[in-house]
Amino acid sequence: MRVGLVSPYSFDVPGGVQFHIRDLADYLARHGHEPSVLAPADEGTVLPEHVVPAGRAVPIRYNGSTARLLFGPVASARVGRWLEEGDFDVVHIHEPLAPSLSVLALWAATSPVVATFHTSNVRSRVMQAAYPLLRPSLEKIHGRIAVSEDARRTVTTHIGGDAVVIPNGVDTSAFARVERDPRWTGAPGRPTIVFLGRIDEPRKGLPVLAEAMPAVLDAVPGARLLVVGPGSAEAARAKLPEGVAASTEFLGALSDEDKASALASADLYIAPHTGGESFGIVLVEAMAAGAPVLASDLAAFQRVLDAGRAGMAGALFASERPDDLAARIVELLGDPERRATLARLGRERARAFDWDVVAREIIAVYETVLDAGHPREVTRLRPGLGRAVDHRPRGRAGEPWRP
C-alpha cells in the first residue's frame, strides 16, 4: 500500500505529532508498505527516512503553543506535486484543520483520505471560525481517527460526525531495553526526579514543578531534578530559587536513546502539564522505560494511566497545585515499594500503546476506507482503549473490517 502522510508541524522542532508520524512511517515501511511523509523543514535539516521537506516553516501561535507551520502558494504547489508523484492509495493527513500543509493537502487530495485529530480543545475559536470555510473539504475525509477521547470530543463538538479512537504509538521495546545511565541514576539520599518537555512552554508545567521543589528539597535535601527538552536553559534557570537552581541540571534536547536512558534512570518521572493535552505520549514513554510516573490530573493523563481502576499505572496530583505536587513527590520518594509497584504496573500498561497494537488498527482503517469505496463515516466507538467497532458486520477475529 502506498501511503502519503502529511505533518502540519515542522520536523525542525521535536514534538509528539512529528514523532507519531515518523514512527508510523517506519512501521509501515518495515511491514511492506511504501510510506512518504510530507512535512515542513528548513533547508539542511537532517530528516528521518521517508520524510520529504516542503520548505521552511514560520512560528505561529496555535492550539495554546507556538507551532512552526507552512502555508502559501509555494507550499501549495509542493503539496500538489508530492501528491501527483506519490500516486498514493491513501493520504493520511494529521490535524487536517491546521493552517499548514495539512489543510493544503486536504484541499488538493484526490485519493482516499484518512485524517487523525490530535488536538484537545473543545473551545477552539480557530476551529469554530474555520469550519464553515473548510466544510466542503471535510467531505473528502473518509476515515477519521482521534488519538484520545478528548480529541474525539473536539471533533464531535466542532465538525460533527464521529472518529475512531486510536492512541499514539510508542516503541515500548526500545524504551524497555535501555540501560540506566550512571550519570543520572539516583542513589540513597540522592533520588533523581525527571521532567521532560519544552522548557519555555508554560503548559508543559515546568514552572509548577519549580515552585514545588523548595518544599521537596526541605524534606529530601539530596533530591536532584533533571530537565530534558529544548528551550533556553539560561532563562529557565534564572527564574529558579537559588537552592532549586543548584539542584537542577538542564540536559537539553537528547537523542531518543539518551532520552529513554534518562527516563529509565529516574526514581520519579513528573508530568506537571497544565492543559491542552489530548493524550500523553511522554507518560507512555516513561512507563515503558520503567519510571514510576506522577502526573497532573488532566483527563487525558488519567485515561493513559487507567485512573479509577484497581492497579492504576501512575500517581496523580491536583493540576497547577505546587503544594499538592510537592506533597506527592515527598510521599513517593519516601516509599520505594510504592514506586516499584507503579513502575511494574506502568510497564504493563505501556504495552497497550505499542506500535504493534496501534499501527495495526490504523492500517485497518486504511483497509476499511479502500474496501468500502470511500465511505463518509468509517466507525463508531466502543468503550475501552483504542479499539474501533465498525457499525457494519465484522469478519473473524484478526481480519480487516469489511463493509
The mean pLDDT value for 210-239 works out to 96
**pLDDT level of residue 141 (50, 70, 90 thresholds):** very high
**pLDDT level of residue 374 (50, 70, 90 thresholds):** low
Given a cut of 80, whether residue 391 has pLDDT beyond it is no
Question: Whole-angstrom Cα distance, residue 184 to residue 178?
Answer: 13
Given a cut of 90, whether residue 278 has pLDDT beyond it is no
Would the pTM of this model clear 0.85, i.e. be above it?
no
Give the per-residue pLDDT at 128.
62
Contacts of 17 (CB under 8 A, 6+ apart): 7, 8, 9, 94, 95, 118
Question: Whole-angstrom Cα distance, residue 315 to residue 223?
Answer: 19
Given a cut of 50, whether residue 401 has pLDDT beyond it is no
SS3 148: coil
Residue 167 is classified by DSSP as P
Averaged pLDDT score across all residues of the chain: 87
Given a cut of 80, whether residue 299 has pLDDT beyond it is yes
**pLDDT level of residue 301 (50, 70, 90 thresholds):** very high
Assess contact for 276 and 118: CB atoms under 8 A: no
Give the per-residue pLDDT at 62.
60
Surface-to-core class of residue 169, CB atoms within 10 Å of its CB (0-12 exposed, 13-18 middle, 19+ buried): buried
389 or 20, higher pLDDT:
20
Given a cut of 70, whether residue 356 has pLDDT beyond it is yes
Give the per-residue pLDDT at 98.
85
Q: What angle do CA 249, 12, 304 make, to 5 degrees?
A: 65
Give the per-residue pLDDT at 284.
96
Given a cut of 60, whether residue 155 has pLDDT beyond it is yes
Contacts of 185 (CB under 8 A, 6+ apart): 192, 265
Per residue in 24-81, pLDDT tens?
A: 999 999 999 999 999 999 888 889 889 999 999 887 776 556 778 889 999 999 999 9
The mean pLDDT value for 233-251 works out to 94
164 or 398, higher pLDDT:
164
SS3 318: coil
Give the per-residue pLDDT at 13.
80
Given a cut of 50, whether residue 309 has pLDDT beyond it is yes
Contacts of 123 (CB under 8 A, 6+ apart): none
Question: Whole-angstrom Cα distance, residue 63 to residue 276?
Answer: 8
Paired with 194 in beta bridges are 226, 269
Q: Which of 112, 6, 113 is nearest to 51 (CA)?
A: 6
Residue 308: C-alpha distances to residues 147, 165, 313, 320 (Å): 20, 20, 10, 21
Residue 179 is classified by DSSP as P
Per residue in 169-217, pLDDT tens?
A: 999 999 999 999 999 999 999 999 999 998 988 999 999 999 999 999 9
Assess contact for 403 and 392: CB atoms under 8 A: yes
Give the per-residue pLDDT at 397.
32
Q: What is the DSSP track for 91-124?
A: EEEESTTSTTHHHHHHHH--S-EEEEE----TT-
What are the domain boundaries of the chain? Answer: 2-169+354-389, 172-352
The arrangement of strands across the sheet holding 141-146 comes to 51-53, 34-39, 2-6, 90-94, 113-117, 141-146, 164-165
For residue 59, what is the enclosing H or E element?
strand 58-62
C-alpha cell at 92: 493520511
Please state at what angle helix 125-138 crosses helix 149-158, rounded to 10 degrees. Answer: 70
- The CATH T-level fold of domain 172-352 is Rossmann fold (3.40.50)
Lowest mean pLDDT among 140-154, 210-224, 286-300, 338-352: 140-154
Given a cut of 90, whether residue 242 has pLDDT beyond it is no
Question: Whole-angstrom Cα distance, residue 275 to residue 308?
Answer: 20
Question: Whole-angstrom Cα distance, residue 319 to residue 273?
Answer: 7
SS3 292: coil
320 or 390, higher pLDDT:
320
**pLDDT level of residue 381 (50, 70, 90 thresholds):** very low
The mean pLDDT value for 248-262 works out to 95
Same fold, 2-169+354-389 and 172-352: yes
Contacts of 101 (CB under 8 A, 6+ apart): 6, 7, 8, 38, 39, 40, 54, 70, 71, 75, 79
Please state at what angle helix 336-350 crosses helix 281-288, rounded to 10 degrees. Answer: 110
Give the CA count within 13 Å in the CB-facing half-sphere of 343.
20
Enter the CATH code of domain 2-169+354-389.
Answer: 3.40.50.2000
Given a cut of 80, whether residue 398 has pLDDT beyond it is no
Given a cut of 70, whether residue 276 has pLDDT beyond it is yes
Q: Cα torsion at 248, 229, 124, 137 (round to 10°)?
A: 180
Core vs surface per residue 345-378: b (16+ CB within 10 A) or e: bbbebbbbbbbebbbebbbbbbbbbbebeebebb
